[in-house]
Amino acid sequence: MPVTSTPNGAFPTSQATQKVAGIVVTQTRLPTRTLTQAPTSSPVKPSSTPTSTSTIVPPTATVTPRACMYAGGSVEVSEIRTTLLPAPLVYRIYLPPCYEEDTDQSYPVIYLIHGQTYSDTQWDRLGVPETADRLIRTGQVPPFIVVMPRDRVWLEPTEDKFGQAVAQTLIPWIDENYRTIADREHRAIGGLSRGGAWAAHLALSHWELFGALGVHSGFVFYSDVQPIYQWLNAIPEGMTPRIYMDIGNEDRPEITEGARWLEDLLTRFSIPHEWHMFVGEHEEAYWHAHVEDYLRWYTKEW
């Protein structure tokens, strides 16, 4: 069904230089952090939000655990320079357990974007690497890579070229320098709050790049309200990304309104998606409580 808009739409150790998609990119590689067991205390304040009730199934007694699996994955912080942005594009990347050992294996990738006023450290602080380690080690999900880029400017996509830099520079760079499965079926994007708006912007305007979209307590950029109709019309039948949306029942009214506008649009035009309203507010305690849910959803088709 064609999607039509309405007149009043709501709402430093080593460096390497090379060309990616015609753009000169300079990478500065920063120290790597190796992950071990998840910390026993939460990195954020406690929340009344229920945590996942899924049962962790330990490896069977007949399987001999690999040392690298128990050593955990690693987190590397790097930056690339592109003419699209005035400052280097910093990204944090989680590499799964045994990445260095299994040199013949390639991995699907999740791109996770942080919220406004935060940085690439946010998803790391919320426990993504430790949760991924546990789910991979216990065989509940396949191994995967997570890329967490930093957005420095709090402007609309019409004034902030962060989205262009992700699509045109960062993704090709990651695919060339890490062992990824470089197709849309094995590439997902998600974000929280403003990061959710960026995820929706990128996944719907570049459907050919992403097979899954997660909008966590997110909304739609004001400058995307009219273009989003054109983007949805341009997606070939059967090629719309899998979509997951969630928000806390006590989130800010303006965020909730933006999230409901997008969910209503998807519903009105019969675009498959998941919509969840959980107990919680617009805060890190809420997102931390749902990190496992998010990672399970992103990886379930892999």
> How is the chain split into domains, by residue range?
19-38+66-299
Kindly report, residue by residue over 92-120, the tens digit of the pLDDT: 999 999 999 999 999 999 999 999 999 99
CATH-assigned architecture of domain 19-38+66-299: 3-Layer(aba) Sandwich (3.40)
Residue type, 111: Y
Above 50 in pLDDT, residue 295?
A: yes
Q: How many CA atoms lie within 13 A of 179 on its CB side?
A: 14
How much is the pTM?
Answer: 0.82
Q: What's the rounded mean pLDDT across residues 263-282?
A: 95
Residue given tokens 């060309």 in the structure block: 19
pLDDT grade for 65, boundaries at 50, 70 and 90: low
d(CA 215, CA 201): 10
**Mean pLDDT lowest among 109-113, 174-178, 207-211, 269-273:** 269-273
d(CA 302, CA 107): 10
Above 70 in pLDDT, residue 10?
A: no
* pLDDT confidence of residue 70: 87
Report how far apart, in Å, the C-alpha atoms of 145 and of each of 46, 81, 112 are.
Answer: 28, 22, 11
Local structure of 14: helix, strand or coil = strand
In this structure, the strands spanning 74-81 and 23-34 are antiparallel
Kindly report, residue by residue over 225-251, the tens digit of the pLDDT: 999 999 999 999 999 999 999 999 999
Closest CA to 249 of 286, 274, 280, 218: 280
Residue type, 191: G
Kindly report, residue by residue over 164-189, the tens digit of the pLDDT: 999 999 999 999 999 999 999 999 99
Helix axes 284-299, 128-137, angle to 10 degrees: 40
Q: Which residues contact 83 (CB under 8 A, 6 or more apart)?
A: 23, 24
